[in-house]
């Protein structure tokens, strides 16, 4: 079963292949987009153990000259120090502008490899082979690349589109349960902001998804990628509309920064952020308590945390003010309008709203 989508960005359009057991077709897919013959697979040790040899052999069989760069695993390594390790090996191995990079792994690998490709020799080709659900439905599509700064997540990066995205849902079989749940947070997000019917499908298909039924996974991943592709095609560089994809992320990024990167998985922090955003939306009469409860319960059903850690409102506000969506000192939040729609707006009296929301979360937790 192989599904295909195209992210329609004119001369920078690229295909997304989604299937089960399709890693051995990666060479075929890269040939179809005329990917450079000399490439480096960039991954971490855990992913290399599972899929490194298979991917490398598939590429060699298709005529590619392949080397492997192995990076340390974890969000805490998504920084300039690790980025420098990529550049060191590329330079030592004589990579030039006619070479390419392949990101094999989760969102951390994908973001760093994309950023490395964007700035090495002022830009070389790269492709995404995401092996986590979070990366498959979110970070591998759309061209956002970045590394973290100690004061904020993804503050240093670039918009740089891949040549191809190759999604094999079979790789999720080796994913820890916690990582799979983290990916489902982004899937739920798409339902909340864009498609109530999809939100309902996720509830109905919860058991099949948790059991990683291939057909259910492919359908859900394809729908998620299609929603994101539709948004990116309208607003590639997040000048306005694309910011809706950050629902739950402003508060979620604050959770990650305050707790220390790695304490919460990105999807876990986003799940908490979505519930906080929904609570604020309810207080602004944009959604009902029933909507908030439905979002909360669906996230919990996938094993996700929904209550914020107990930092002060002042700490949260300070961390949120470092968010990339702050413009001219004004923080705008993505808020859900019921389930299936959303808007972006400045929130007057955010301190008081957040105080009440956090108190409610703590008492419920």
Only one residue has tokens 């697979």, namely: 41
Q: What is the CA radius of gyration of the chain?
A: 20
122 is catalytic: yes
Residue of 164, 249, 282, 283 with catalytic role: 249
The answer on whether 171 is annotated among ligand-binding residues is yes
Active-site residue, selected from the candidate residues 238, 256, 268, 279: 238
Q: Of the residues 163, 164, 179, 186, which is catalytic?
A: 186
- Is 168:212 a contact under the CB 8 Å cutoff? no
Quick check: is 20 catalytic? no
User: Is 163 considered catalytic here?
Assistant: no
Q: Are 19 and 219 in contact (CB under 8 A)?
A: no
State yes or no: is 233 an active-site residue: no
77 annotated as a binding-site residue: yes
Tokens of 188: 């739920």
**Is 353 known as a binding-site position?**
no
Compute the half-sphere exposure of residue 1: CA atoms within 13 Å on the CB side of its CA: 13
Confirm whether residue 73 is marked as ligand binding. yes
Tell whether residue 173 is among the known ligand binding residues: yes
**Is residue 144 flagged as an active site residue?**
yes
Q: Measured between alpha carbons, how far is 122 from 145 in angstroms, rounded to an integer?
A: 14
Q: Is 74 annotated as a binding residue?
A: yes
Q: Cα separation of 28 and 190, whole Å? A: 31
Sheet holding 99-105, edge to edge: 2-7, 14-19, 165-168, 125-130, 99-105, 38-44, 65-71
Indicate the pairing of strand 14-19 with strand 165-168: parallel
Contact between 179 and 30 under an 8 Å Cβ cutoff? The reply is no
The catalytic position among 164, 253, 265, 283 is 253
Is 107 annotated as belonging to a binding site? yes
Annotated catalytic residue 249: yes
Catalytic, 50? Answer: no
Residues in contact with 277: Cβ distance below 8 Å, sequence separation at least 6, in sequence order: 247, 248, 250, 251, 333, 334, 335, 336
Cα–Cα distance between 147 and 179 in angstroms, integer?
20
Burial of 224 (0-12, 13-18, 19+ CB in 10 A): buried
Which of 144, 164, 219, 324 is catalytic? The answer is 144
User: Among this protein's residues, is 266 annotated catalytic?
Assistant: yes
Task: List the catalytic residue out of 228, 282, 283, 324.
Answer: 228
Residue 43 annotated as part of some ligand binding site: no
Q: Is 111 flagged in the annotation as binding?
A: yes
Q: Is 132 annotated as a binding residue?
A: yes
Q: Is 172 annotated as a binding residue?
A: yes
Which of 242, 265, 282, 296 does the annotation list as catalytic?
242
Would you say 23 and 55 are in contact if contact means Cβ atoms under 8 Å apart?
yes
Q: Which of 34, 122, 204, 328 is catalytic?
A: 122
* Residue 78 marked ligand-binding: yes
Residues 246, 256, 268, 282: which is the catalytic one? 246
Catalytic residue among 266, 283, 296, 324: 266
Positions annotated as catalytic residues are 122, 144, 186, 228, 238, 242, 246, 249, 253, 266
Annotated binding-site members for NAD(+): 73-78, 107-111, 131-132, 144, 153, 171-174
Annotated binding-site members: 73-78, 107-111, 131-132, 144, 153, 171-174, 186, 249, 266
Annotated binding-site members for Zn(2+): 186, 249, 266
């Amino acid at each position: 079963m192989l599904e295909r989508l195209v992210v329609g960005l004119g001369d920078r359009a690229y295909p997304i292949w989604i299937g089960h057991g399709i890693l051995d077709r990666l060479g075929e897919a890269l040939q179809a987009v005329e990917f450079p013959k000399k490439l480096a697979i960039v991954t971490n040790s855990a992913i290399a153990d599972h899929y490194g040899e298979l991917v490398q052999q598939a590429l060699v069989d298709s005529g590619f000259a392949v080397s492997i760069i192995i990076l340390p695993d974890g969000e805490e390594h998504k920084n300039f120090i690790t980025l420098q390790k990529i550049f060191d090996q590329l330079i030592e191995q004589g990579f030039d502008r006619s070479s390419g990079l392949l990101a094999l792994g989760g969102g951390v690998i994908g973001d760093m490899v994309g950023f490395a490709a964007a700035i090495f020799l002022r830009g070389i080709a790269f492709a995404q082979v995401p092996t986590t659900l979070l990366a498959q439905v979110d970070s591998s599509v759309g061209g956002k690349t970045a590394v973290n700064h100690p004061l904020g997540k993804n503050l240093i990066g670039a918009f740089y589109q891949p040549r191809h995205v190759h999604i094999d849902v079979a790789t999720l079989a080796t994913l820890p349960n916690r990582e799979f749940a983290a990916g489902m947070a982004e899937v739920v997000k798409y339902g909340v902001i864009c498609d109530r019917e999809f939100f309902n499908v996720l509830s109905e298909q919860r058991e099949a998804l948790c059991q990683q039924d291939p057909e259910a996974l492919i359908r859900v991943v394809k729908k998620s990628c299609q929603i994101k592709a539709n948004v990116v095609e309208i607003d590639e560089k997040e000048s306005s509309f694309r910011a809706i994809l950050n629902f739950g992320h402003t508060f979620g990024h604050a959770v990650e920064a305050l707790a220390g990167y790695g304490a919460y998985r990105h999807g876990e922090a986003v799940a908490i952020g979505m519930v906080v955003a929904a609570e604020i939306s309810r207080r602004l009469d944009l959604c009902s308590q029933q909507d908030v409860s439905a979002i909360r319960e669906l996230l919990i059903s996938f094993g996700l945390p929904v209550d914020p850690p107990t930092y002060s409102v002042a700490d949260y506000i300070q961390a949120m003010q470092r968010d990339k969506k702050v413009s001219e000192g004004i923080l705008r939040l993505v808020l859900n309008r019921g389930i299936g729609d959303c808007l972006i707006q400045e929130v007057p009296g955010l301190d008081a709203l957040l105080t009440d929301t956090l108190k409610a979360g703590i008492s419920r937790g």
